[in-house]
């Protein structure tokens, strides 16, 4: 009887260990809006690449799970994780109190701020001086919020687009006088279009912001895995290696968890 009990206990432990290992190694579906160069974008071969992609792979590897990236339009990104279609979302998402109401965020993984990118003929020093000028933003983005607070949400000079490439193409073609977006994205675009001589301006009201990895509200187990993996990636120096690859400089220090 004792031997049977011991065998049963041993089998239970093995089954539990196997179950835990299987759960840990499960492939997580990661939603990302692959139109946000250099954070995430598609190559001509439809491969999703970018800073966020490299970082998420490193975090997953450190945390012990696998990831599969799915290109997900920005307007449906938050709903995709809430409905369970995506386990994780990472897409240059600024952590805000409003977004915390519908998502749980990881510890910050990137310091950013909003900035203005203007045509070379536009001479301004702050957002107020965009009065009467056409401004392009991504619908519902932090840039949209900033310009709407300044000139009113219904201002006819605010041009809203579904993604950043559309905003930048409009700026490139002269359809808007300025664009508002994350500094990493706009600086990358200006650097790769030197002939346009775009000007970059940071308004004093644009405070430092932080990007986070999102999971379904209440999914503490997965969030803990992600935070643990992120800490390992930062502490090992891998984070700085990835940052240098995409931004050509050492990463700024992130706030303590």
Tens digits of residue pLDDT in 54-106: 999 999 999 999 999 999 998 999 999 999 999 999 999 989 999 999 999 99
pLDDT at 41: 95
Check whether 177 has a pLDDT greater than 60.
yes
pTM above 0.85, yes or no: no
57, 67, 142, 235, 239 from 229: Cα distances, Å: 10, 13, 27, 10, 11
Return the minimum-mean-pLDDT range out of 19-23, 98-102, 219-223.
19-23
Q: Who's near 53: CB < 8 A, 6+ residues apart? A: 32, 40, 69
Q: Is 124:135 a contact under the CB 8 Å cutoff?
A: no
Q: Is 63:226 a contact under the CB 8 Å cutoff?
A: yes
Q: Where in the chain is the domain with CATH 3.40.190.10?
A: 26-111+209-247, 114-201
Half-sphere exposure in the Cβ direction for 240 (13 Å, CA): 10
Q: Give the CATH superfamily of 114-201.
A: Periplasmic binding protein-like II (3.40.190.10)
**H or E segment and range at residue 32:** strand 27-32
**H or E segment and range at residue 104:** strand 103-105
Q: What is the dihedral of CA 19, 25, 26, 30, to 10 degrees?
A: 150
Return d(Cα 116, Cα 108) in angstroms, integer.
23
Check whether 185 has a pLDDT greater than 80.
yes
- Per-residue model confidence as pLDDT tens digits over 101-134: 999 999 999 998 899 999 999 999 999 999 999 9
Q: What is the dihedral of CA 162, 165, 166, 169, to 10 degrees?
A: 170
Return d(Cα 206, Cα 50) in angstroms, integer.
25
CATH class of 26-111+209-247: alpha beta
Gyration radius of the chain's alpha carbons = 21
Edge to edge, the sheet with strand 135-138 lists 158-161, 135-138, 178-182, 114-118, 199-201
Return the minimum-mean-pLDDT range out of 10-19, 133-142, 222-231.
10-19
Q: Is residue 166 classed as helix, strand or coil in its secondary structure?
A: helix
Check whether 23 has a pLDDT greater than 80.
no
């Amino acid at each position: 009887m004792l031997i049977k009990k011991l065998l049963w206990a041993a089998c239970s432990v093995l089954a539990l260990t196997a179950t835990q290992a299987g759960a840990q190694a499960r492939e997580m579906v990661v939603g990302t809006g692959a139109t946000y160069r250099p954070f995430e974008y598609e190559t001509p071969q439809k491969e999703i690449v970018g800073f966020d992609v490299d970082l998420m792979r490193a975090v997953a590897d450190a945390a012990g799970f696998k990831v599969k990236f799915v290109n997900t339009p920005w307007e449906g990104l938050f709903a995709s994780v809430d409905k369970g279609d995506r386990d994780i979302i990472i897409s240059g998402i600024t952590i805000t109190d409003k977004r915390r109401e519908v998502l749980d965020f990881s510890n910050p993984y990137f310091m950013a701020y909003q900035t203005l990118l203007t045509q070379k003929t536009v001479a301004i020093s702050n957002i107020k001086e965009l009065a009467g000028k056409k401004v392009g933003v991504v619908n519902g983005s932090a840039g949209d919020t900033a310009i709407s607070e300044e000139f009113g949400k219904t201002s006819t000079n605010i041009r809203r687009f579904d993604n950043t490439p559309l905003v930048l193409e409009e700026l490139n073609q002269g359809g808007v006088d300025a664009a508002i977006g994350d500094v990493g994205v706009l600086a990358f675009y200006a650097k790769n279009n030197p002939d346009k001589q775009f000007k970059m301006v940071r308004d004093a009201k644009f405070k430092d912001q932080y990007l986070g990895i999102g999971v379904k509200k209440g999914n503490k187990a997965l969030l803990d895995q992600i935070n643990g993996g992120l800490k390992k990636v930062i502490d090992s120096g891998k984070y700085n290696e990835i940052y240098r690859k995409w931004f050509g400089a050492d990463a700024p220090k992130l706030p303590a968890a």
